[in-house]
Structure 1
C-alpha cells in the first residue's frame, strides 16, 4: 500500500501548520492578520507558516481585500488543485459518486441505480465506480469517503447494517484501501448531513445542536461543543427509537410507539392509508389510482396543497408527535438548535405551527426559551459537504 498516506498533515508538518491550514480551508479567503486573531499565534509565526504553505502549493494568495485604514490585506485561500477527493453517497435507491477538488468544486460525478440489486452486486458496483473515477481523475486521489445509511463503526470503517442494501458488518474501509491503496473513511449519512449543516448551513454559528433527519425513518446526529458525539461504541443518536407512546404502532425495530413509528414519512403514509381504508375520502386515493400500497409522502404533500382535509389532518398529527419528540430532546440535551431535515420538510407549512405549539407546552421553559428550532435548507448537498469535510479533516 505504497500510496497510502501514513501520517496526517498535523503530524507531518506540525500542529501550528495544521491549525492555520484548517482556518484557511474553513474561513478563507482570509488575511494573515485575521488568521493570527483566530489562532492566537503571533503575526510573524503566521506569516512564516503561510509563506511556507504558499511555497508548497497548499494555499494561494487570492486577492487584495478591503482596507480598514492601513495597507489593504492580501487574502489567502486553499489551492483548489492541492487535493482531490472522492465521495460516494449510497442513498436509498442510488449510488452517487463525486470527484471534488480542495474547494469542494465538483470535477466529475456519476449516478447509478441500485434498485433491485443484491448485497454483493451493490458492492461490485461501488468498486467499479471507484475504479472508473480514480482512473479518470487527472490528479492523484488523497482520500475517499463512503456515506451509507444505518449504523457504522467509524474507526474500523465497517458498515454495521445498511437497511436499504442488506449489508451487515461489511468492512468497507479495509476492502477499498486494499484494492486502491487510498485512505478511506466510512460515515453514516445523517452524521454527514449534520456536519455539512454545521460547516455551511443553518448550524454554522452554533456549538450544540441536535439534527433530525425525518424521512421514511428518523435519524439524528448530536453535536456537542462543536464536535459530533458518537457515544461509547458509535451508537449515539438513535432518537427515532425512543418511546413516545407505549400503546402506539409497532416500529421496524420491533418495539411499539417509537418516535419513528409515529412521526416519520412512513408513519404519515400509514396514517393516511389507514384512514382511507376506514372509509374517509381523500384525493390521495385517486392519485394512487386506487392502489394504496403505492401511496407516497409526495402524494400527501401535494394533496394537502390542494386543501385535502385528510392529508392536512394527517400532517398535523405528525406535527404533534414531532413536537412531543422534540420536547423530549430539548429536556434531555438543552441544545442551542434543533435542525430538521429530510423529506418531511416538504410538508412544513402544514405541521410547523402545531409542532412548535406542542414543543412549547411540553418542554421546560428555561430550556425551550434558549433553543431555536429550524429547518435545513441545504438538502442532500449537506451530505456531500459534510462527508467531504470529514475526509479532509482526517487527511489533513
Structure 2
C-alpha cells in the first residue's frame, strides 16, 4: 500500500468515525443498523468503527430497541459523563472557567480575577493557575479531560492559537495555545470570545435551529460572531464581527481603539456607567444616588441595572436608550448579513427586558423591509457561561465534526 493510499484510508476512516460519532450525538440512542442506513456506510464498517469507539469509551451500549422481527437491536449513545472539557472566557477583569461533559452540560465552574493591565506573562500565569486549580479541585479525574478551549476578547488567530490584540489589556501576540499545550499536554483551541459565545448558542443554546445567525457579545466591549451555513466566518484577517467598532456617531466619544463614536462607546457596560455619571452630576433624580451614597465613582452598569429593577425611571430610560443604540448596530448587521437570528449575550444582556424595547423600536424604524424588521432577536440561553461553554465546543468540534470542515 502506497503512502498516499494509506493517508487517504486514514482520512476516510477519520471522517467516517466523526460521521458516526455525530449521528450518535444527535440521534442517539440509535442502533448500528440505523446508523448504516442513514450514513450509507456498510454494516461491517459501522460495526468496526463502533467497536473502536466503545473500546475508547466515547460510546456505550445502552437500552435495547424495538424488534422488527428479529433480535432486539442494542442501542448506542455518547458516554457523555466519561470525558470532560475545560473552557475559559477571558474578559476584562476576570476569567470564567467551566468544566462541561461531552453534551456541554455544566459540571463545574470558577472565576479567576485578572490584575489591572497585566503583562503577557501575568495573563498566562493567571490562566494556568486557574486551570491547575480547576483540575486539582475537580472531582473528575485529570486523564478524563480531553482538551481546553479559550474564548479571548479582541483579535485572535484561531489557527495558531494566538491573541493578536487584546485591547482591554493593550497586549499583542499572546501565545496562548503554545503555552497551555506545553503545560497541560492536551488539545488547546483559541478563538475570539464573541465567536465562542455564538458557537455555544449554536450547539447548546438558542441558535441550534439556525445555520445563519449572529451572536453579539455585549460586555465591557462589543463583538459579534458570524455564523454562515453553520460555520464561523473570520474574514481575511480575523476581524470579521468587530461590530463594537462600527461608527454610529461621527461626533461621539473617543473609543479605546482611537476612533470616535464607535457603537461600544454608547452601548457597552462602561459607557452605560459613564452616561449615567454624566447625567447624575447635572442633578437628575435617581435611586442611584442612594445606592452609591453619592459617590459617582461607584456607578457601574450593574448599579444602573439594579436601580432599574427597583423601578428607577432614570435607569430604565437609560437602558432603553442603550437598547436603541444597540438597535442601530443590529440593524446594520441585518442589512449586511441578513441572518435568520441575532442572539445577544454578555454581561449587559442581563438587562434584557429593559434593552429589548429600545432594540425593537429601532429595528422597526430603520429596517429596510418588513422581513428585515421581523428578524428574530433573542437573548442568550447560556447566559454568563455562553462564551466559556462555547470555548468547550471548540474542542468538541474535533470529535463530532468531520475533517472536511462541516458537521457530519
- Relative to the length of structure 2, the TM-score reads 0.84
SS in 2 for 1:364: coil
Structure 1 residue runs of 4 or more that deviate by more than 6 Å after TM superposition:
66-72
Larger CA deviation: 149-158 vs 123-132: 123-132
Structure 2, gaps ≥5 residues long: 1-6, 401-408
Aligned residue number for residue 303 of structure 2: 299
Trace 1:158-197 onto structure 2 (pairs within 5 A).
Answer: 158-197=162-201
Aligned residue number for residue 385 of structure 2: 381
1:20 and 1:192 map into 2 onto residues whose CA distance is 25
1:369 and 1:29 map into 2 onto residues whose CA distance is 40
Q: Is the 8 A contact 2:100 2:389 kept in 1?
A: no
1:250 and 1:13 map into 2 onto residues whose CA distance is 54
Residues 106 and 366 (structure 1), Cα distance of their counterparts in 2 relative to 1, 3 Å cut: closer
Aligned residue number for residue 154 of structure 1: 158
1:207 and 1:83 map into 2 onto residues whose CA distance is 27
1:77 and 2:77 are equivalent in the alignment: yes
Question: Alpha-carbon deviation of 1:302?
Answer: 2.1
- How many pairs are equivalent? 389
CA distances 1:307-366 after superposition (whole Å, capped 9, x unpaired): 322112212211221222211111111110011112222322223223212202211215
Query: What CA RMSD, in Å, does the superposition of the two structures yield over aligned residues?
Result: 3.1
1:160 and 1:138 map into 2 onto residues whose CA distance is 30
1:34 and 1:121 map into 2 onto residues whose CA distance is 52
Aligned residue number for residue 269 of structure 2: 265
- Higher RCO structure (Cα 8 Å, ≥6 apart): 2
Q: Is the 8 A contact 1:122 1:165 kept in 2?
A: no
2:285 and 2:21 map into 1 onto residues whose CA distance is 60
Residues 80 and 321 (structure 1), Cα distance of their counterparts in 2 relative to 1, 3 Å cut: closer
1:219 and 2:223 are equivalent in the alignment: yes
Aligned residue number for residue 53 of structure 1: 53
- Relative to the length of structure 1, the TM-score reads 0.86
Question: Alpha-carbon deviation of 1:116?
Answer: 4.3
Trace 1:294-333 onto structure 2 (pairs within 5 A).
Answer: 294-333=298-337
CA distances 1:257-314 after superposition (whole Å, capped 9, x unpaired): 2111122222222222111122211111221111112101122122223332211221
Aligned residue number for residue 3 of structure 1: none
Structure 1, gaps ≥5 residues long: 1-6
CA distances 1:8-66 after superposition (whole Å, capped 9, x unpaired): x9748432112111232344334445545653545664445334422443311122457
Question: Alpha-carbon deviation of 1:86?
Answer: 3.1
Aligned residue number for residue 28 of structure 1: 28
Aligned residue number for residue 127 of structure 2: 126
Residues 114 and 13 (structure 1), Cα distance of their counterparts in 2 relative to 1, 3 Å cut: same
Question: Alpha-carbon deviation of 1:146?
Answer: 2.5
Residues 131 and 204 (structure 1), Cα distance of their counterparts in 2 relative to 1, 3 Å cut: same
Q: Is the 8 A contact 2:147 2:395 kept in 1?
A: yes
SS in 1 for 2:143: coil
CA distances 1:215-248 after superposition (whole Å, capped 9, x unpaired): 2221110000001001112111101111112222
Q: Is the 8 A contact 2:57 2:82 kept in 1?
A: yes
1:382 and 1:374 map into 2 onto residues whose CA distance is 14
Aligned residue number for residue 4 of structure 1: none
Question: Alpha-carbon deviation of 1:193?
Answer: 1.2
